[in-house]
Each structure stands twice: as structure tokens, then as C-alpha cells.
């Protein structure tokens, strides 16, 4: 058995914490570890031979770093050149597992990187039952035993009992409140979790039978694969031509081999801020608070402060989320519409949709601490042994001041070493590079000045992370 973790979501309903370039699966919003790390840790106690993560190309370094930080060795990191939904993503993983196992077909435990499961032993029991079913040729979906008449999830109606599972009688769309209550009262309906178990060859055979166009596109894309350090890249043109469809629509609703294994384990897809209020333990006023928060006459609310004091007075059933560059205030019962704010940000071309003030790079992180017309100030942290690309800028000059650590700087035809309180100036058009040769993080202040300060004014000549043109 191999774990296949899908980590390509955008998590737009959890803005402002979740951003396009750093979405919720890479955040610590439901525990001390990130959601991806918790998903991988959940495999402890399950006999898996390895783990594959499927992600967007722009998230590849985040995945690799978070797995390394958590001490989790990954079998493969598959990069999707474009998003094409879950059916093609799982097909790429299936082709990869068959290739890695020389044609032998392992079981695939397919999970999302951004789900919360509070009762891990119960999850392990369900996985064991699903493995029995999958070994017998079934395509297994995990059905969450509903705890309420939830209208935000699709449902699965069970059929005849098959050992510790049931045949799937019907997949149904997200219901209205009255229909959801009837499902809860009936007792034969489960929430659709989006988690699966099947043999790799069984899944591909069913995909080929029901969506041969998706199968052919993924087969062609995988045939053009290449290995780039820790990452597996597939053919861009072939995968871009692949139809966009979910595994539910493409396979599970069409196959005659679908079974559902019930799961009652404190599951949530953390699809909105209200979900975190629902699954977290509140205080005496039924509030869930994180960070530096003070409340007075506030009830039933979720309040999160990431960078400063947040105080509320006289509020009920609200969500307040503060980050260092944006604040969200919403009715707790309307948080699904946070995506409407994200759509406005996108239409206006604002950076708050893309990234946080802290921007992660494969070499470390930078924080834009101040900016104005013709200038920008950044706090830069370079990891030990890491190096920024050899580059130049057409429109800006840079001044670097070392705060702590040691910097190895290429400035034109000179190579210099800088330590605490030392600095260097890099004029417009001069080729330069920055490296941390030490064993502690290098911290410095960068002051940019010029007519254009965008991140796309970078001409890379050499880069150890594969970002320079070949």
C-alpha cells in the first residue's frame, strides 16, 4: 500500500490565512504542524511502503521542505503543470506507482492534504477494512458518519452490506437544509469525504473504461515524464489537453465496483472558518480564539490574531481573522462567501490574493516591511547553505545590510564576505548573488530603489533550484 496525498487545492475560503502561493494545506491552522504534515503523520500505524504527494509546480519547494522538516521521506513528488482536478491527478500517481513497482499493482490510499481527522485510531481501523475491500477488486470511498444535517457536503447513500462495507447505491449533490435533515434521519447516508482506496491497475482500468479521454491524456503526459531533483514532471502539453474532472464524476459514479466504508473519526475538510469553530474547543463564552485576543460580551465567535492584539466588544457569531497585511470580519454563517472577496481581489490584481507579506522561497523567506514610490524594504532570511540565484535587475538597485550571520556576496566581478553590521551596494544592471556559507540563518535588510520594483524584474543566469532558463 502507498499513500497518495493530493495537495493542489487553493483554500480560498480560508483567506486571509490561505493564499494562492501558500494555501491552507501548508498552514498550521488546526494544530501545531501544518495540515500536510499532519496528514503524513496520520499514516503512522498504517503499513504503507511509501508516500506520494501531488502538487502544483509553484508549491514544489514548500512540499519538499515541510516533508523534510517533519522527518517524512517521500517516495515521489508529482508536479501538475496545470490543475485538472482529482481524476487526472490520481491517474498520474497510479501510473507512477505501477512504474516504480515494475508492473506490480499496489493499493493506493488517496487522501487530501487539507483534511482534519481527530480520532486517528478510528481512521486506521477504517483503512484496514478498506484495504480488504480493495484487495478484492473494489473501489472504496470513505463515507463520514454525519454528525449534523450539513449542507456543505455531498452525500453517499449506502446499499447492501458487504462485510465491513456497503455497496454504493447513489452519490448525491450538496442538499438543501430540509433534504440534509431527511438524510440524517434516514441513517443510510454518509458525507462524501473525498478519500479513496483502490489498486492502481483497477483504478486505471475503470478510468479507461469510463473516461478514455482522461486516461489517454494522462498516459501520454506520464510517457513524457522527467525527473528533476526530488520532483517528477509530466508532459505539459499532454496534461494541459486533459479534460478537467473529479474522480467522483469520472469513475466512482459510473463504476459497478464502488463500495463505501463508514468512518466516524472527527473528520472535517476545513472548508471554511466556521469549520474550525465547529471542531475546536471553545471557552466559557463559546468562543474559539488564537493568538493575542481580548473579548468582552462576545459569544459564539472564531477570532484569530496572527501579528497583533485583536479586541472585540459586543459581537455574536462572527469570524475575525487578522494577518499582517489583511483583516477579515464576517458573519459566521456566511463565511462560504469569503471566496467572493477573493474574486474581487483577483479582479483588481491585488497581491493579497497571491501571497502573504512573508513570502517563502526555496532558499528561505523574505518579509516586505515597508514600501513606497521608488523604494521597498525587505527583511531577508537565508537558510544555512542556501544560495539565491545569480541574477541582475534592469530597473532597481539594492543595498544589503547584514543583521546576523555571514553573507557570501557576488557583486559584479568581486566576491566578498560580509558579517554583522557590514553592507554592500549593487547598482542597476550588475550581476550579483547572495549565499549563506554558515551554519546559522543569515538575516539581512535589503533596501531597493528604482523605477520598477516588481518581482518579475529578475533576470536569472544560474540557479541551484532549477528556476533559471536552461
Which one, of 326, 470, 292, 243, lies nearest residue 14 by Cα?
A: 326
**Are 33 and 68 found together in one domain?**
yes
**Residue 271 backbone dihedrals phi, psi, to 5 degrees:** -80, -10
d(CA 243, CA 89): 11
- Co-location of 174 and 258 in the same domain: yes
Question: Do 233 and 87 sit in the same domain of this protein?
Answer: yes
The pLDDT of residue 99 is 95
CATH of the domain at 20: 3.90.550.10
pLDDT of res. 137: 96
What pLDDT score was predicted for residue 306?
94
Helix 86-100 and helix 212-223, axial crossing angle in degrees, nearest 10: 50
Which pTM does this prediction carry? 0.90
Q: How many helices and strands, by DSSP H and E, does the chain display?
A: 11, 30
Chain segment 283-312, per-residue pLDDT in tens: 999 999 999 999 999 999 999 999 999 999
- What are φ and ψ of residue 108, in 5° steps? -120, 120
**396 and 300 both lie in a single domain:** no
Question: If you ran DSSP here, which 8-state letter would residue 19 be given?
Answer: B
> Is residue 455 located within the same domain as residue 308?
no
Tell me how far CA of residue 324 lies from CA of 75, 304, 352, 443, 466, in angstroms: 36, 12, 11, 20, 31
Low-confidence residues of the chain, pLDDT below 50?
none
Q: CA geometry: angle at 359 spanning 58 and 75, to 5°?
A: 40
Q: What is the pLDDT of residue 157?
A: 97
261 in a domain, yes or no?
yes
Do both 245 and 282 map to the same domain? no
Residue 281 in domain? yes
395 in a structural domain: yes
What is the Cα–Cα distance from 291 to 309, expressed in whole angstroms?
A: 8
Residue 431, in any domain of the structure: yes
Total structural domains in the chain? 3
Q: Is residue 469 part of a domain?
A: no
| Domain presence at residue 353 | no
Domain boundary residue, one of 341, 372, 398: 341
Asked if 113 contacts 7 with a C-beta cutoff of 8 angstroms, the reply is yes
Give phi and psi for 440, each to the nearest 5: -120, 155
On whether residue 347 sits in a domain, the answer given is no
| Same domain (yes/no): 239, 294 | no
Choose the final residue of a domain: 236, 268, 300.
Answer: 268
Neighbours of 312 (CB within 10 A): 18
Residue 226 lies in a domain: yes
Do 69 and 146 sit in the same domain of this protein?
A: yes
261 with 278, same domain? no
- Are 238 and 368 contained in the same domain? no
- Are residues 197 and 72 part of one domain? yes
Distance between alpha carbon 5 and the CA centroid of its chain, in Å? 10
* Host domain of residue 438: 358-462
- 112-140 burial, b if ≥16 CB within 10 A, otherwise e? bbbbbbeebebbebbbebbbebbeeebbb
Task: Please name the residue that has the C-alpha cell 498504517.
Answer: 46
The confidence score (pLDDT) of residue 106 equals: 96
**Same domain membership, residue 310 and residue 162:** no
CA atoms within 13 A on the CB side of 278: 17
Q: pLDDT, tens digit, for every residue of 5-15?
A: 999 988 899 99
Amino acid at each position: 500500500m502507498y499513500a497518495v496525498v493530493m495537495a493542489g487545492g487553493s483554500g480560498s475560503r480560508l483567506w486571509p490565512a490561505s493564499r494562492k502561493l501558500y494555501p491552507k494545506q501548508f498552514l498550521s491552522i488546526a494544530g501545531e504542524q501544518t495540515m500536510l504534515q499532519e496528514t503524513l503523520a496520520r499514516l503512522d500505524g498504517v503499513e504503507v511502503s511509501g508516500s506520494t504527494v501531488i502538487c502544483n509546480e509553484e508549491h514544489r519547494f514548500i512540499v519538499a521542505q515541510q516533508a523534510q522538516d517533519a522527518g517524512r521521506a517521500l517516495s515521489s513528488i508529482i508536479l501538475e503543470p496545470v490543475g485538472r482536478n482529482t481524476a487526472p491527478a490520481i491517474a498520474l500517481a497510479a501510473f507512477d506507482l505501477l512504474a516504480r513497482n515494475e508492473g506490480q499493482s499496489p493499493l493506493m490510499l488517496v487522501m487530501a492534504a487539507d483534511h482534519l481527522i481527530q480520532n486517528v485510531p478510528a481512521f486506521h481501523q477504517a483503512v484496514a477494512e478498506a484495504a480488504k475491500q480493495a484487495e478484492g477488486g473494489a473501489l472504496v470511498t470513505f463515507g463520514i458518519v454525519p454528525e449534523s444535517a450539513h449542507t456543505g457536503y455531498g452525500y453517499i447513500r449506502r446499499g447492501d452490506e458487504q462485510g465491513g462495507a456497503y455497496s454504493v447505491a447513489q452519490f448525491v449533490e450538496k442538499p438543501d437544509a430540509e433534504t440534509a435533515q431527511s438524510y440524517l434521519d434516514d441513517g443510510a447516508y454518509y458525507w462524501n469525504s473525498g478519500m479513496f482506496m483502490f489498486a492502481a491497475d483497477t483504478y486505471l482500468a475503470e478510468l479507461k473504461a469510463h473516461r478514455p479521454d482522461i486516461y489517454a491524456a494522462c498516459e501520454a503526459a506520464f510517457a513524457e515524464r522527467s525527473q528533476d531533483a526530488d520532483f517528477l514532471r509530466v508532459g505539459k502539453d499532454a496534461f494541459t489537453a486533459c479534460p478537467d474532472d473529479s474522480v467522483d464524476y469520472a469513475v466512482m459514479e459510473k463504476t459497478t465496483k464502488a463500495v463505501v466504508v463508514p468512518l466516524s473519526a472527527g473528520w472535517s475538510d476545513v472548508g471554511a472558518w466556521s469549520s474550525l469553530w465547529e471542531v475546536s474547543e471553545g471557552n466559557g463564552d463559546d468562543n474559539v480564539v488564537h493568538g493575542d485576543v481580548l473579548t468582552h460580551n462576545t459569544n459564539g465567535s472564531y477570532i484569530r490574531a496572527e501579528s497583533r492584539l485583536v479586541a472585540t466588544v459586543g459581537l455574536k457569531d462572527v469570524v475575525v481573522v487578522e494577518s499582517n497585511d489583511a483583516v477579515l470580519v464576517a458573519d459566521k454563517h456566511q463565511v462560504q462567501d469569503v471566496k467572493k472577496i477573493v474574486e474581487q481581489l483577483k479582479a483588481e490584481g491585488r497581491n493579497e490574493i497571491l501571497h502573504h507579506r512573508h513570502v517563502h522561497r526555496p532558499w528561505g523567506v523574505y518579509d516586505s516591511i515597508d514600501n513606497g514610490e521608488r523604494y521597498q524594504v525587505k527583511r531577508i532570511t537565508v537558510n544555512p547553505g542556501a544560495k539565491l540565484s545569480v541574477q541582475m535587475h534592469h530597473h532597481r538597485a539594492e543595498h544589503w545590510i547584514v543583521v546576523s550571520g555571514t553573507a557570501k556576496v557576488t557583486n559584479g566581478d568581486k566576491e566578498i564576505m560580509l558579517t554583522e553590521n557590514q553592507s554592500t551596494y549593487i547598482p542597476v544592471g550588475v550581476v550579483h548573488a547572495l549565499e549563506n556559507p554558515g551554519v546559522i540563518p543569515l538575516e539581512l535588510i535589503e533596501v531597493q530603489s528604482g523605477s520598477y520594483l516588481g518581482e518579475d524584474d529578475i533576470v536569472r543566469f544560474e540557479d541551484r533550484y532549477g528556476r533559471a532558463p536552461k
